[in-house]
Amino acid sequence: MAQAHSDPLWWRDAVIYEVYPRSFADGNGDGIGDLTGLRQRLPYLARLGVDAIWVTPWYASPMADGGYDVADYRAIDPDFGTLEQAEQVIAEARELGIRTIVDVVPNHVSSQHAWFRAALAAAPGSPERARFWFHPGQGPRGDGIPTRWRSDFAGPTWARTRNPDGTPGEWYLHLFTPEQPDLNWRNPEVVAEHLDILRFWFDRGAAGIRIDSAALLVKDAALPEVPAHPGPGEHPHVDRDELHDIYRGWRAVADGYPDTRVLVGEVWLEDRERFARYLRPDEMHTAFNFDFMARPWEAKELRESIDQTLAAHAPVGAPPTWVLSNHDVTRPVTRYGRGDSSFSFAGKRFGTPTDLDLGRRRARAAALLTAALPGSWYVYQGEELGLPEVEDLPVEVLQDPMHYRSGGTDPGRDGCRVPLPWSGTERPYGFSPAGAARGPWLPQPTDWAGLTVEHEEADEASMLHLYRRAIEVRRAERMAGSLGDGPLAWVDAGSDVLAFTRGDVLCVVNLGPEPVDLPPHEDVLLLSGPLDAGRLPRDTAGWLRTTRTNTERNPGPGTQPGGVTRR
């Protein structure tokens, strides 16, 4: 059995598979994915060839926000299983050569968390309330909202409490839903508690921590309104300078373990220089690169994002991450088939037309592009099957607060969270065991028989085969010093074509309307689709074996200083 290699720098170019446990595999037939199901399917992930899994929150939670409302960070939600089973997931995955990254949610807790219940029961000004942002309302009656900060989930960010006698009381801050009260990171108890949560999971074998909403934790205690054009570090609740001390403390805990434990930040920031600050050598190891994910399928846009990403990371020595999808965004097959193939939360609307054949072709090419870039690569469950966004879920089954807090205009994120199809030709497509008592928590489409793991395994032309092969080739080439960590050099192949070398591997992607000649090469390693009379058709990508001598080397802004040599 393959052992996870003991390379301390494994995270620099790992392939990391995101598991959304509720929708991955249901072991006990209640329609909800669980840890039994995940354990049963670990061999599938080993066969796919991933280096690590990132499991989104599996903790005890009322699920007001898909588990990102944590009631107890040291307990597994009973719908998912037990703490012992979580330890088994970590240990069994490790036996198969797969490391586990757990998701920690430090910005907020569930309103059912013991701390928040104690805070509600305690008086204004009490130590229990000092762990959160309780505040009197404005005006003589205290009914004016403390600030007009807007939630990422639409609407206000403050909710009013009730006193024991039923009269209206203080307000509390929630950047997301009212069921997710924000912690006060100026409180030393909050800091100490999270260091202990990290140790709790590292002690159970977690190889890393994904840090939810990592740029939001610290607030300006004066609670000013958000300025029209906040300068760097001036936003009252985003990217405050004080955050860096928190992550230095976390890094010290991670570095206290003899083998590498990594910190991966969810950092949504437009300012690339500010983004890179989180990746200084004594802070996080990596952070999600959402800029690339949000760009439209256009050569100029993608090249610009790649160049800017590499340039931003180079000064701090951190490898970039590359992400095409996750449990929050529209699935690539659907997005790339649209007239506007960029992604933004604000732009999501019901009924946006898409051409799924076009989207699928582009998503295949995008996978090869993404997998060839320097750094680590994240694959969200179902991406490797080419699942589309499910856009026709009945409104009454939608659970995402982004949908209902928008007043019904935003379809929300349920469409990328529909339970995976594993086998068979009928729903639930092997997601639950035969004879399951309940259907999946979100209904699967009736036309997914051709998208099951079983079906795609038998089809050489499937998305699953492409992903497996890409991961396999990437692994072999990174051992040889090509794909994975290290420098990238652009090759001029025209304005509609992205072409670059990674050692003696050349990645070429045709985003233009017409077929193009393949650049000089010795061998074809992998194609996202068939050639057209020997030429690379539109929306198609290839990995070619070349030699350094016949490749134009371009030490331009997109070139990283030499990668870390270690194998």
170 binding Ca ion? (CB under 5 A) = no
Nearer to Ca ion, 30 or 301 (CB): 30
299 binding Ca ion? (CB under 5 A) = no
Active site residue 270: no
Which residues 415-474 are close enough to bind ligand NOJ by CB under 6 A? none
CB of 295 to ligand NOJ, least distance (A): 19
104 binding Ca ion? (CB under 5 A) = no
| Residue 48 binding target from ligand NOJ, Ca ion, none, CB below 5 to 8 Å by type | none
CB of 215 to Ca ion, least distance (A): 34
| Residue 51 binding target from ligand NOJ, Ca ion, none, CB below 5 to 8 Å by type | none
CB of 199 to Ca ion, least distance (A): 29
Q: How does strand 52-55 pair with strand 99-104?
A: parallel
What span, in angstroms and rounded, lies between the C-alpha atoms of 296 and 401? 26
Q: Comparing C-alpha atoms, which of 218, 147, 145, 135 is closest to residue 184?
A: 218
Nearer to ligand NOJ, 202 or 380 (CB): 380
23 binding ligand NOJ? (CB under 6 A) = no
What span, in angstroms and rounded, lies between the C-alpha atoms of 443 and 421? 11
Instruction: Report DSSP letters for 415-457, one per residue.
Output: GG-PPPP-SSSSTTTTSS-TT-SS--SSPPPTT-GGGSHHHHH
Give the binding range for Ca ion (CB under 5 A) out of 29-37, 195-203, 437-445, 530-538.
29-37
Structure-token pair, residue 24: 């991955």
Catalytic residue among 65, 79, 266, 291: 266
* 205 torsion bin: left (phi>0), alpha (psi -120 to 50), beta (else): left
Catalytic residue among 65, 212, 389, 414: 212
CB of 266 to ligand NOJ, least distance (A): 6
Nearer to ligand NOJ, 109 or 541 (CB): 109
Active site residue 266: yes
| Residue 212 binding target from ligand NOJ, Ca ion, none, CB below 5 to 8 Å by type | ligand NOJ
What span, in angstroms and rounded, lies between the C-alpha atoms of 414 and 172? 28
Which residues 42-101 are close enough to bind ligand NOJ by CB under 6 A? 65-66, 68
What span, in angstroms and rounded, lies between the C-alpha atoms of 523 and 545? 5
What span, in angstroms and rounded, lies between the C-alpha atoms of 16 and 378? 5
What span, in angstroms and rounded, lies between the C-alpha atoms of 550 and 548? 6
> Which backbone phi and psi does 208 adopt, to 5 degrees?
-170, 170
| H or E element at residue 55 | strand 52-55
179 binding ligand NOJ? (CB under 6 A) = no
Q: How does strand 72-76 pair with strand 59-60?
A: antiparallel
Helix, strand, or coil here: 540?
Answer: strand
Q: How many positions of this chain bind ligand NOJ (CB under 6 A)? A: 10
Task: Write the interaction track for Ca ion spanning residues 30-59; mark x where CB under 5 A is met and - where it is not.
Answer: x-x-x-------------------------
Nearer to ligand NOJ, 113 or 327 (CB): 327
212 binding ligand NOJ? (CB under 6 A) = yes
Helix, strand, or coil here: 484?
Answer: coil
Per CB under 6 A, residues contacting ligand NOJ are 65-66, 68, 105, 176, 212-213, 266, 327-328
Per CB under 5 A, residues contacting Ca ion are 26, 28, 30, 32, 34
Catalytic residues: 212, 266
